[in-house]
Amino acid sequence: MNGSGTAPAVPRPAYRRLSVEQRRSQLLGAALGLFAQRAPEDVSLDDVATAAEVSRPLVYRYFPGGKQQLYEAALRSAAEDLERCFAEPQSGPLTQRLSRALDRYLTFVDGHDTGFSALLQGGSVVATSRTSAIVDQVRRAAAEQILRHLGEPEPGPRLRTAVRMWITAVEGASLIWLDGGKQPPLDELRDGLVDHFIALLAATAARDAQTARVTRAALALETPDGPVGDLVRRLLPVVRDASHLL
Amino acid sequence: MNGSGTAPAVPRPAYRRLSVEQRRSQLLGAALGLFAQRAPEDVSLDDVATAAEVSRPLVYRYFPGGKQQLYEAALRSAAEDLERCFAEPQSGPLTQRLSRALDRYLTFVDGHDTGFSALLQGGSVVATSRTSAIVDQVRRAAAEQILRHLGEPEPGPRLRTAVRMWITAVEGASLIWLDGGKQPPLDELRDGLVDHFIALLAATAARDAQTARVTRAALALETPDGPVGDLVRRLLPVVRDASHLL
């Protein structure tokens, strides 16, 4: 589009020199890019070769097990990225830490889109007990991170269940969000999920002494301008007329 | 084990006379009984014949598509049973209706055990986009029922998402419950899920005018001895020290 004449073509080397690890990671990156846009069964090794601008034999050399091997390797790589999202220093109000980790998680969901939905909605031809195990491991890692932040060295079943239920609900909300054209905006979804965490923790605290202890300790670190203060102030007018329940 | 001698064998007719529908339903019942105890891939048509005490050719006549057809038919039948669990008259406090429906749902989960886990955990060889669609339909039906009980003719996205998130969390909690040897007892799990619903609705009400309206109307129907009054009274000591947030 820049007027007359043709710019001299700059010759591009057929292959950049990459180490085995770098090449593998490049191919997985290309595969994840494709999985983000199409169902896993619609991504072939040839598509990956095209996307990564490498030869087909090269891709087949790295993934001799074909599509299934590629899918599982891409999933493993995505799972590692995802587990890194959860890492967060143990300081400051809990809701701030949760909010930051959720931001990274939702950005991941946003970027992986179709692949994320296909993986979690099930029914995919590439889903196996191995792929389920990888996903379960991510869920477990997320739960362990949260429990570590709650500072309870030996979390009991009620606290564990509350945390795992929230993780399940976050997954569900992510799928609904993707399905609904990514509305509301990511930060609104994130804030709603933080509120949901507070609410679930409080509901569990009402019946479980350990969760009550953890919740009290977490509330002590919160600030009035943070999400808990905001939630409580917004909630007061809703429950104002419910004094007959006390 | 009843001492000496042999009781004369009572001849049992090889086949009871059943209509096509009755026979089909008998075979599906036998299949669901097997799926409740074993992974779907470990249930063969021969096993169904043995369990239903009919001949193998009979089972093959009803399910010429083999194992996959049997599995999908059993799933459809289970889905219908499940949707019936959700039906509940529109009167009385909302938490009472929810509690009754949850009771039926959890009794279903209890009775279908392994089949329920295998279905929702994914990675099963019999999972297809059709089986996912059946499960999704059940989730949608559950959400519609709850929204109907909330009495909002045109539920907006935030209220819808809250309800769907709760359904996802209930599913997650059911799987955790089965995985953990059905502890805590069913009624304790049920009460916790009702509390979770109240908490999630309240958290959503804090940010959404429609949900706030629905929540206020629901609270007005609750009684002091019901789950909301109980939850609020148990929660007060937990939040007592958090006045710095107001």
**A122: pLDDT strictly greater than 80:** no
- Name the residue among B220, B223, B238 with its Cβ closest to that of A202: B238
Q: What is the C-alpha separation between B145 and B149, in angstroms, rounded?
A: 6
How far is it, in rounded angstroms, from Cα A159 to Cα A152? 9
Interface test with A, best of B193, B234, B245, B246 (most A CBs within 10 A): B245
Range with the poorest average pLDDT among A174-178, B37-41, B158-162: B37-41
Contact B164 A172 (CB under 8 A): yes
**pLDDT score at A178:** 93
Chain B residues lying within 8 Å of A199, measured CB to CB: 199-200, 202-203
> Does residue A129 have a pLDDT over 90?
no
Tens of pLDDT along A196-213?
A: 999 999 999 999 999 999
User: Nearest CA of chain B to the CA of A121: how many Å?
Assistant: 7
Q: How many CB atoms lie within 10 A of CB A97?
A: 18
Cis peptide before B184 (omega within 30 of 0): yes
pLDDT of residue A6: 52
CA-to-CA distance for A145 and A141, rounded, in angstroms?
6
Q: How many CB atoms lie within 10 A of CB A66?
A: 11
Which among B123, B128, B200 has the least Cβ separation from residue A131?
B123
Nearest-10 crossing angle of helices A94-121, A186-205: 110
Instruction: Quickly count helices (H) and strands (E) in chain A.
Output: 10, 0
Sequence-distant (6+) residues with CB within 8 A of A189 are: A106, A173, A177
Given this model, what pLDDT does residue B41 score? 85
- The structure tokens listed for B182 are 């059905």
pLDDT 10s digits, A87-120:
999 999 999 999 999 999 999 999 999 888 888 8
Cross-chain residue pair B206–A238, CB shorter than 8 Å = yes
Residues of A in contact with B199 (CB under 8 A): 199-200, 202-203
Between CA B136 and CA B215 the distance in angstroms is: 26
* Domains of chain A listed by start with CATH number: 78-231 (1.10.357.10)
Run of H or E including B159: helix B157-179
For residue A229, give the nearest of B130, B241, B246 by CB distance: B246
Quote the tokens at residue A166: 């929230």
pLDDT in tens, A14-34: 556 889 999 999 999 999 999
Task: From chain A, pick out residues whose CB is under 8 angstroms from the CB of B127.
Answer: 122-123, 127
Give the minimum alpha-carbon distance from A237 to chain B in angstroms, rounded to a whole number: 9
Q: Distance from B195 to chain A by nearest Cα, in Å?
A: 6
Angle at B143 between CA B167 and CA A232, to 5 degrees: 65
How much is the pLDDT for A10? 53
